[in-house]
Structure 1
Amino acid sequence: MSIDLKNDAEVQTSVTSSSLCERPDNLVPQCLLETRDLRRVFSETGEQLEILKGVNFSMNAGELVALTGSSGSGKSTFLNLVGMLDTPTSGEILFKGKELSKFSSHERDMYHRAQVGFVFQFHHLLSEFSALENVCVPGRILGTSEAECRERAEMLLETVGLKDRLKHLPRELSGGERQRIAIARALMNKPDLVLADEPSGNLDEANSAKLNELIGELNEKFNQAFLIVTHDEMLAKFAKRRVVMHNGLIQSIE
C-alpha cells in the first residue's frame, strides 16, 4: 500500500491514522516506537529553522523500516531524536509505550547501552582493537563478563561472515568488512531497535549490495527492529515499509 500525502494538513491527518502500530489481537500492543507531533527547531543567527514540522510515526517490534527522502528533509534529525542523541523542541517520542522525556537517568543509560543499537555511515571502530574486541565493547560497558562477550561476539562475527577476521585490526579490513563489524557491535547487547544512518553510504555498489542483504537477514534471524535512513534504493527495497520524508514531514508510506 502506498499513501500519498499532498499538503501539511493532509499529512497530519493521514499519517496519524496510517502509522498506528498494529495490534493483532486488540489486546497486546506490538508498538515499539511512536512519535507524536515531533518538532525540532534550530536557532541560527537569530533565525528559527524548523527541521521537523510535526512528525507522526510508529513502528512495530521486529519491523524493518527504511526512512528515505531528499537531503535536508529531516531524516537524520529524526533518527537523532529517536536515539536520544538530541532533544525535540516539542512533541513526544514513546518507546514501548513510555515517553523518552520521562526516562530516569538510569533508564536513559539503559536505552543507549542495551535497548538501542547504533550504526553510522562511518564505522567508528577503535583502531587499536581487533574485530572481536570492537564488537565486545558495548557488552563490557554494560557489565557483561568477558567470557560471555567473547562468545556472543564470535557468534555475531560468524553471522556477518567474518569468523576468519576475529583478530584483525580495522586497518587490515576492507570498508565493507568494517561496516559489518559495526553492525555486529550494534547487535551485541540484543537491542530491541537498531538505528542506522546511511550504513552503506561509504561503500561501493558491490559492498552495498552485500550489506543490504545482510541487514535483511539479520532482521529475520534476530527479529530486531531496524530503522534505517538511506538514499540506497536497493536497501529501501529490503524494508517491510518505506517512509518518505519531505520538508520536515512524512510525505508517503509504502
Structure 2
Amino acid sequence: MSIDLKNDAEVQTSVTSSSLCERPDNLIPQALLETRDLRRVFSETGEQLEILKGVNFSMNAGELVALTGSSGSGKSTFLNLVGMLDTPTSGEILFKGKELSKFSSHERDMYHRAQVGFVFQFHHLLSEFSALENVCVPGRILGTSEAECRERAEMLLETVGLKDRLKHLPRELSGGERQRIAIARALMNKPDLVLADEPSGNLDEANSAKLNELIGELNEKFNQAFLIVTHDEMLAKFAKRRVVMHNGLIQSIE
C-alpha cells in the first residue's frame, strides 16, 4: 500500500550530573534540553492552579532519564511543555541552546517532525495501516521518499523484534507489539530526543519488562536521548538517571 502523507498535519507524534569540574568553560558540552524556572499555571473556576512551580532541568544528548513522582506532581505537564504540546506560563525551555519560544514556524514544525519523537501510553497507530506503513508515517510527512522510509522502517521493526509483522494491521497484533511499533515510529526521523509518557502503562508485567529492556537497548544502539515519564519502577531502574518530581518541583536526582 502506497502512502503519501507529506502534507498531513498530524504527527504522532534528559538532568545531567556528568563530571565537568575539570573542564574549561568553553569545553563544557551544551545541554540538549534545558528548562529554567519553568512554570505552568492553569485557571479553573476563577482560581489559579500552579502545576509547575519553577522547574530547573537539563540533560545531555544520548541520556536515558526517568521522570518519576506521584500522580499530580506535574510530570506529564512538564513533558507536554518540553514537547511543545503546551505553552509555559513563564520560564524558558532551551533545545540545543535555543529558546523554544523564539522558534520560527518552520523551526517549530521541524522540532515536532524531526528533532523530537513521541511515545504515549496508548499506541495511536492508524488502524487501516500495516505495521510498516505506520512506522513510515513520520518520514512521509517529513518528505522522505517512500523507498527510504520503507528501508528504515524495516530496519527499525527488525530492531524491535517485529520483522515478521511488517504487513500486520494493529488489530492483528498484541498490546506489546503495538507499543513496540509506536516506539519504532518515534525513531523514524532519527530524532535527538524521544519523549515517552507512561510507555508501559497499558501493558501487563511480562510485556512491560520486555518494553523496558527494549528502550534501554535502543538508547544504547542509536544514542538518542530518552526522557520517560513513568510509574514503572523497573523502567526507572533501566534509566541512567532518575529524577523525582513532587508538587511541581524536582525533589531529587538519583
Per the normalisation by structure 1, the TM-score is: 0.91
C-alpha offsets along residues 107-135 of structure 1, whole Å, 9 cap, x if unaligned? 00000000000000000000000000000
Q: Which residues of structure 2 form unaligned runs of 5+? A: none
* Contact 2:123–2:178 (8 Å) recurs in 1: yes
Whole-Å separation in 2 of the counterparts to 1:95 and 1:182: 24
Whole-Å separation in 2 of the counterparts to 1:3 and 1:24: 50
Which residue of 1 is the match for residue 165 of structure 2?
Answer: 165
Which stretches of structure 1, 4 residues or longer, exceed 2 Å deviation after superposition? 1-26
1:61-210 correspondence runs (5 A) = 61-210=61-210
C-alpha offsets along residues 80-139 of structure 1, whole Å, 9 cap, x if unaligned? 000000000000000000000000000000000000000000000000000000000000
C-alpha offsets along residues 31-63 of structure 1, whole Å, 9 cap, x if unaligned? 100000000000000000000000000000000
C-alpha offsets along residues 124-183 of structure 1, whole Å, 9 cap, x if unaligned? 000000000000000000000000000000000000000000000000000000000000
* Contact 1:22–1:31 (8 Å) recurs in 2: no
Q: CA shift at 1:30, angstroms?
A: 3.9
3-state DSSP of counterpart to 1:183? helix
Which residue of 1 is the match for residue 227 of structure 2?
Answer: 227
Whole-Å separation in 2 of the counterparts to 1:219 and 1:229: 15
Q: Which residues of structure 1 form unaligned runs of 5+? A: none
Q: CA shift at 1:252, angstroms?
A: 0.3
Q: CA shift at 1:27, angstroms?
A: 1.6
1:14–1:232 Cα change, 3 Å: closer
Deviating more after overlay: 7-16 vs 73-82: 7-16
Whole-Å separation in 2 of the counterparts to 1:229 and 1:171: 27
C-alpha offsets along residues 162-214 of structure 1, whole Å, 9 cap, x if unaligned? 00000000000000000000000000000000000000000000000000000
Q: CA shift at 1:250, angstroms?
A: 0.3
3-state DSSP of counterpart to 1:177? helix
* Contact 1:131–1:168 (8 Å) recurs in 2: yes
Q: CA shift at 1:17, angstroms?
A: 9.2
Root mean square deviation, CA, Å: 10.2
1:29–1:59 Cα change, 3 Å: same
Whole-Å separation in 1 of the counterparts to 2:96 and 2:121: 27
1:34–1:197 Cα change, 3 Å: same
* Contact 1:22–1:60 (8 Å) recurs in 2: no
3-state DSSP of counterpart to 2:26? coil
Whole-Å separation in 2 of the counterparts to 1:3 and 1:191: 22
1:23–1:97 Cα change, 3 Å: farther
Whole-Å separation in 2 of the counterparts to 1:180 and 1:250: 30
3-state DSSP of counterpart to 2:17? helix
3-state DSSP of counterpart to 2:13? helix
Q: CA shift at 1:9, angstroms?
A: 43
Q: Percent identity of the aligned residues?
A: 99
Deviating more after overlay: 11-20 vs 214-223: 11-20
* Contact 1:3–1:253 (8 Å) recurs in 2: no
